[in-house]
């Protein structure tokens, strides 16, 4: 019987090539789209799930009130980890991680700048990063040990054995390779190519024991059976207790977040982690489900539309004794067979598209063909798709009454509302929602890109201060200016595109105790900050230590800081913090240093009493960029010969601030296009069948004088009505969803009526283009051929 069913299914596929092609193509595209999204989702939800002790590892966080708002953050003091490990018996181990440190590695004549992290020895036993060589229990026990990833070991030593080899770091200290670990997977929150012992950072003088200075991340491994809630209650006041004499920390709380949740739930609201990447995962899971449903709807619609063709087959089978259950099984078997064909093509498409899709989402994705679970899930996926696509047609077709269909009394439904019309409306409603979403995301990105960022990004370059640069800064600065490579130079605490530091506890004449909770972003300069950055002074002057030696304790405020502090005469203001008096010498127009979608926060630019990490150069506009960089490289190489000359264009770094939204917009456009394509395939199939089934009616109308335009309108209007209904349903849903999305941005667009008008027009034009071919073809057919038998 099964063999017979397969034969019938195959014959139906071959006999109806056009409809089979439409069904398989639509289902293949839908399955491929769904599979791509599911591969990405699997990568996201499995972040750091491979650690053996994952259920006992927690990230330590702070919670406090700033400017009347409760905030949470996962940066902690240096002293947090050893204190937790020593004072709380619930803690089995604790480790600090200070990532993003770049050092110059020298092996023989080879010099490479590499990025890695400082951490405690226990990190390697808390987390399950596999070692290919060495012992994770002892690899970081000594201050001059180093652990490399396989990729970095290969880069430094080639095919030679890296274990026990010496590496010179920053041309000063020798380190012994004591461990080689497998390259990090792409589904971990950590990003490093080497690990250095924490004790070495202490030897460099980088560490302090202040409970008020949050500079790194702390992870704790709780003992078996310890409750997170109970532990959080015990450590809640640890920072507050150590800073009891400072009322600023009277509301500080410490709590933990499970490692297994930290990646997906990184967005805090009112001091609690309630969202983050999980929102994107949920959104694209919904998109995947809808795309698959839309593809299945095509099968349902074409199967039920062509029901008259198989009505007699069902009637005869029932007359000779076939039960309804057997007929349902037969039709479901046909849909599952079709799903098998579609899956083969979908899998091939996924394999071809996966590298490009991985680049789009910023991940290296792959299919685990060697994992039996993949094939098990694939079978489940095929069966699910087959059942989803074939269930309604199976029950619909098997319900035919044999007496009616064999007497020729079978009639197709002409009701104003029938399941087929509802399915078409569902298809296009989702397509219209995605069209509207794509337009709004694109407009939001353009809106932020056109925002005045407050400084001139063009010809602005920054160079990290490393090696001998700090000691020879004045020589380097003077030569860059004298040789014409730059027209202005300043050193700063951070690149202008990034926040490195912030602080609170400031007071000034007329300030209150609550004002001490205002969090100021910190930058620094020696001179020519405004000139170099192309910023705008609105009051006073710039910091200039060379003209005004007393500027080491001077500061410049931005406009937001002046408003926040309610200063009527900023230039006469003295700010007090950390037992120092800082004199305001200028006010600069607000400029964007973080997200272009958010409001600019209050900023203080310090004089050179602060620390520095970066040099900014305003390149000479009289020269070409290449010539300026060549001159700059000569200067830096002359004074810092051990290090390669590395630089960053500020405009390129600033452009990266839009990457996440651009990625969302591109994905929305991609899946909107695929959704429209699948929907139009189904619409084309329905239009083809409608034209075929009404061919005699068209012939009669043409004989009676109907024009091609009249007949085309007749065959098209019903479909266009359905698309119009889809637009009316989709518009309020899209408006609500995108309003919620835009609500996450302070600087955002207003959704205009034209967005919906454009989306409606596009959907109508696309639909009309899809169905007009078949409608015009039917209208232009010779009526003699359709009426010759009448």
Q: Are strands 603-606 and 520-524 parallel, antiparallel or unpaired?
A: parallel
Q: Name which of 239-253, 276-290, 703-717 the model is least confident about.
A: 703-717
Q: Name which of 325-339, 421-435, 445-459, 529-543 the model is least confident about.
A: 325-339
What percent of the chain is predicted at pLDDT more than 90?
45
Give pLDDT, residue 394: 64
Give pLDDT, residue 222: 96
Give pLDDT, residue 2: 60
Alpha carbon distance 337, 3 (integer Å): 12
Closest CA to 85 of 55, 118, 126, 138: 126
Could you tell me if 544 and 528 are in contact, meaning their C-beta atoms sit under 8 angstroms apart?
A: yes
Closest CA to 752 of 730, 727, 735: 735
Residue that wins the pLDDT comparison between 413 and 50: 50
Tokens representing 710 are: 């009249």
Give pLDDT, residue 412: 52
pLDDT mean over 471-479: 93
Over its C-alpha atoms, the chain yields an Rg (Å, rounded) of: 34
Residue 409 has pLDDT above 70, yes or no: no
Could you tell me if 428 and 733 are in contact, meaning their C-beta atoms sit under 8 angstroms apart?
A: no
For the chain, the first-to-last Cα distance in angstroms comes to 41
Residue 428, C-beta contacts closer than 8 angstroms, at least 6 positions apart = 679, 722, 723, 726, 727, 730, 763, 767
Closest CA to 349 of 338, 357, 361, 360: 357
Is 605 buried (19+), middle (13-18) or exposed (0-12) by CB count in 10 A? buried
Give pLDDT, residue 418: 62
Alpha carbon distance 131, 147 (integer Å): 10
- DSSP codes joined into one string, 664-684: HHHHHHHHHHHHHHHHHHHHH
The structure tokens 């007497």 sit at 407
φ, ψ at 201 (rounded to 5°): -65, -30
Residue 747 has pLDDT above 80, yes or no: yes
pLDDT mean over 376-383: 87
User: HSE on the CB side for 320, CA within 13 Å?
Assistant: 7
Q: Name which of 21-35, 234-248, 312-326, 737-751 the model is least confident about.
A: 312-326
Give the 3-state secondary structure of residue 641: coil
pLDDT mean over 772-780: 70
The structure tokens 């602080």 sit at 503
Residue 368, C-beta contacts closer than 8 angstroms, at least 6 positions apart = 374
Give pLDDT, residue 703: 65
Residue 134 has pLDDT above 70, yes or no: yes
φ, ψ at 121 (rounded to 5°): -55, -35
Alpha-carbon distances, residue 106 vs 115, 166, 636, 778 (angstroms) = 14, 9, 19, 76
Give pLDDT, residue 398: 60
Q: Where are the beta strands (DSSP E) in 276-413?
A: none
Q: Quote the mean pLDDT of the chain.
A: 85
Q: Name which of 96-105, 360-369, 450-459 the model is least confident about.
A: 360-369
What percent of the chain is predicted at pLDDT more than 70?
86
pLDDT mean over 223-242: 94
Alpha-carbon distances, residue 716 vs 415, 565, 687, 768 (angstroms) = 17, 65, 8, 7
Length of the chain counted residue by residue: 790
502 falls in which pLDDT band (50, 70, 90)?
confident
Give pLDDT, residue 256: 96
pLDDT digits (tens, 9 = 90+) for 527-577: 999 999 999 999 999 999 999 988 888 999 999 999 999 998 899 889 988
Closest CA to 437 of 67, 30, 751: 751
Residue 93 has pLDDT above 60, yes or no: yes
The structure tokens 């900050």 sit at 529
The pTM of this model reads 0.84
pLDDT mean over 375-391: 82
Residue 604 has pLDDT above 80, yes or no: yes
């Amino acid at each position: 019987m099964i063999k017979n069913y397969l034969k019938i299914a195959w014959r139906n596929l071959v006999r109806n090539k056009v409809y089979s092609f439409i069904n398989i193509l639509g289902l293949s595209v839908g399955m491929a789209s769904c599979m791509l999204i599911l591969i990405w989702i699997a990568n996201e939800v499995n972040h750091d799930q491979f650690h053996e002790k994952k259920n006992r590892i927690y990230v330590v966080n702070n919670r406090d009130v700033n400017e009347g708002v409760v905030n949470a953050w996962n940066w902690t003091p240096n002293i947090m980890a050893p204190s937790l490990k020593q004072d709380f018996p619930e803690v089995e181990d604790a480790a600090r991680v200070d990532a993003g440190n770049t050092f110059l590695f020298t092996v023989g004549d080879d010099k490479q700048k590499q990025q890695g992290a400082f951490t405690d020895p226990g990190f390697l036993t808390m987390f399950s990063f596999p070692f290919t060589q060495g012992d994770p229990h002892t690899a970081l026990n000594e201050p001059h040990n180093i652990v490399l990833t396989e990729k970095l070991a290969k880069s430094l030593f080639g095919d030679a054995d890296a274990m026990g080899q010496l590496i010179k770091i920053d041309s000063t200290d020798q380190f012994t390779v004591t461990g080689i670990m497998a390259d990090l997977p792409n589904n971990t929150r950590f990003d490093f190519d080497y690990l250095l012992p924490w004790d070495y950072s202490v030897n460099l003088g980088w560490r302090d024991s202040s409970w008020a200075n949050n500079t790194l991340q702390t992870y704790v491994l709780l003992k078996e059976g310890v409750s997170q809630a109970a532990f959080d209650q015990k450590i809640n006041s640890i920072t507050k207790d150590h800073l009891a004499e400072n009322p600023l920390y009277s509301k500080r709380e410490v709590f933990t977040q499970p490692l297994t949740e930290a990646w997906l739930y990184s967005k805090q609201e009112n001091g609690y982690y309630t969202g983050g990447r999980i929102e994107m995962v949920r959104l694209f899971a919904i998109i995947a489900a809808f795309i698959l449903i839309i593809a299945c709807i095509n099968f349902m619609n074409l199967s039920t539309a062509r029901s008259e063709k198989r009505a007699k087959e069902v009637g005869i089978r029932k007359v000779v004794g076939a039960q309804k259950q057997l007929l349902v099984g037969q039709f479901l078997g046909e849909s599952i067979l079709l799903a098998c064909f579609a899956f083969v093509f979908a899998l091939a498409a996924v394999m071809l598209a996966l590298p490009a899709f991985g680049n789009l989402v910023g991940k290296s994705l792959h299919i685990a063909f060697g994992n039996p679970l993949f094939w098990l899930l694939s079978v489940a996926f095929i069966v699910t798709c087959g059942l989803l696509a074939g269930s309604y047609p199976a029950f619909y077709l098997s319900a035919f009454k044999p007496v009616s269909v064999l007497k020729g009394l079978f009639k197709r439904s002409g009701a104003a509302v029938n399941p087929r019309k509802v399915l078409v409306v569902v298809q296009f409603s989702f397509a219209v929602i995605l069209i509207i979403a794509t337009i709004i995301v694109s407009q939001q990105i353009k809106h932020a890109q056109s925002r005045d960022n407050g400084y001139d990004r063009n010809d602005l370059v920054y160079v990290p201060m490393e090696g001998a640069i700090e000691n020879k800064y004045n020589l380097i600065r003077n030569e860059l200016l004298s040789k014409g490579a730059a027209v202005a130079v300043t050193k700063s605490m951070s690149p202008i595109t990034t926040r490195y530091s912030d602080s609170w506890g400031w007071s000034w004449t007329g300030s209150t105790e609550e004002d001490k909770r205002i969090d100021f972003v910190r930058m620094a300069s020696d001179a020519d900050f405004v000139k170099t950055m192309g910023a705008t002074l609105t009051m006073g002057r710039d910091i200039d230590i060379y003209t005004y030696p007393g500027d080491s304790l001077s500061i410049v405020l931005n406009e937001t800081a002046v408003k926040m502090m309610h200063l009527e005469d900023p230039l006469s203001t003295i700010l007090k913090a950390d037992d120092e008096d800082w004199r305001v010498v200028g006010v600069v127009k607000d400029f964007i240093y973080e997200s272009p979608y958010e409001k600019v926060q209050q900023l203080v630019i310090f004089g050179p009493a602060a620390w520095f990490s970066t040099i900014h150069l305003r390149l000479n506009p009289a020269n070409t960029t290449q010539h300026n960089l060549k001159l700059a490289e000569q200067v830096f190489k002359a004074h810092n010969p051990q290090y390669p000359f590395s630089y960053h264009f500020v405009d390129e770094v600033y452009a990266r601030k839009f990457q996440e939204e651009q990625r969302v917009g591109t994905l929305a456009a991609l899946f909107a296009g695929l959704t429209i394509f699948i929907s139009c395939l189904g619409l084309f199939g329905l239009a083809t069948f409608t034209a075929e089934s009404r061919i005699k009616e068209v012939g009669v109308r043409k004989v009676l004088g109907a024009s091609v335009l009249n007949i085309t309108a007749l065959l098209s209007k019903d479909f266009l009505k359905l698309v119009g209904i889809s637009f009316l349903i989709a518009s309020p849903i899209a408006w609500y969803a995108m309003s919620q999305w835009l609500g996450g941005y302070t600087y955002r667009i207003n959704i205009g009526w034209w967005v919906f008008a454009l989306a409606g027009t596009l959907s109508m034009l696309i639909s009309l283009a899809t169905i007009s071919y078949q409608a015009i073809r039917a209208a232009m057919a010779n009526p003699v051929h359709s009426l010759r038998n009448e």
